[in-house]
Amino acid sequence: MYGSLFADILGRVRVKRPLVHHITNYVTVNDCANITLCAGGAPVMADAQEEVCEMAAVSGALVLNIGTLNPSLVESMIAAGRAANKAKIPVILDPVGAGATRLRTDSARRLLAELEVSILKGNAGEIGVLAGAGGVVKGVDSEGLKGDPVQIAREFARVEGLTVVISGEVDIVTDGKRTLLVENGDPLMGLICGTGCMASSVVGTFAAVCDDPVMASAGALAAFGIAGEKAARRCGKPGCFKVALFDELAALGLLELEQYARVKEA
């Protein structure tokens, strides 16, 4: 049903090669840069306060990731986010570990309060914490949330006026009115560090060429998930799977995305 729309977005990415500005964590920064390239975008990893405004202003999207957080980085994110808002480019926030410490939780809430975030993408625990729905986070991993994640995501998106993405075995994408479930992916994606961060980069890449954050997010996650499925068929071990994941996303055909995207309405 949505496959042709997703293929169209991927086609636009590969033609336009949008610049995707990242302020992200140093654990996965190289992987995020490479997955952006494989998706068809052009990554830039710039976090110095002296240049983030200029960089955001000429980018197609801004991806903020609080995985390795410090107060100076938050200030860079705020500055870049304001420049992105002024330039009317989408801001994607990945609140890694929100709920694990006060710094992470407060920083994520500050970013949501002070910036116009287009897409908030996190795991169930992180989103549950920020939505006040009893999410539980251990380190940077989700221990789940209390209640129905679809309803929690939908209400949080409606209240905040943004698109909420909850990553998991089935990804949830909602703006409070439309809710899509993305079923693509493979369990091996949970056995390597950084797939959540990489997914946010792919979402940012798709959002850079698509004005509909729900379709951009769902299309990005379907493409990333299909690449994961193909990589798992090639290699069943985490190390070679990671390399294959990059290869398969780079090689993903538009017709493959159209045919194999498993996305349904909730």
Q: What integer pLDDT is reported at residue 99 of this predicted model?
A: 86
Tokens of 41: 């975008």
Q: What is the DSSP letter of 98?
A: B
- Predicted confidence (pLDDT) per residue in 80-103, tens digit: 999 999 999 999 999 998 988 999
Where do runs of H (alpha helix) occur along the chain? 3-16, 29-39, 52-57, 71-87, 102-114, 124-130, 149-160, 195-207, 213-234, 238-251, 254-260
Domain carrying residue 112: 3-265
CATH code (residue 132): 3.40.1190.20
Burial (Cβ within 10 Å: 0-12, 13-18, ≥19) of residue 139: exposed
Burial (Cβ within 10 Å: 0-12, 13-18, ≥19) of residue 48: exposed
Q: What integer pLDDT is reported at residue 144 of this predicted model?
A: 58
Residue 51: CB atoms within 10 Å: 14
Q: Of 134, 218, 208, whose CA–CA distance to 182 is shortest? A: 218
Reduce the DSSP state of residue 216 to 3 states and report it. helix
Amino acid at 65: N
Find where tokens 């090639």 sit: 234
Query: How does strand 263-265 pair with strand 179-182?
Result: antiparallel
Reduce the DSSP state of residue 64 to 3 states and report it. strand
Q: How many domains does the chain have?
A: 1
Q: What integer pLDDT is reported at residue 1 of this predicted model?
A: 77
Residue numbers of the chain with a pLDDT score lower than 70: 134-145
* Bridge partners (DSSP) listed for residue 132: none
Tokens of 33: 């840069």
Name the CA radius of gyration of the chain, rounded.
17
- Predicted confidence (pLDDT) per residue in 117-152, tens digit: 999 999 998 999 999 876 555 444 445 567 789 999
Q: Are 130 and 109 in contact (CB under 8 A)?
A: yes
Q: What's the whole-model pTM score?
A: 0.95
Q: Of 71, 74, 90, whose CA–CA distance to 200 is shortest? A: 90
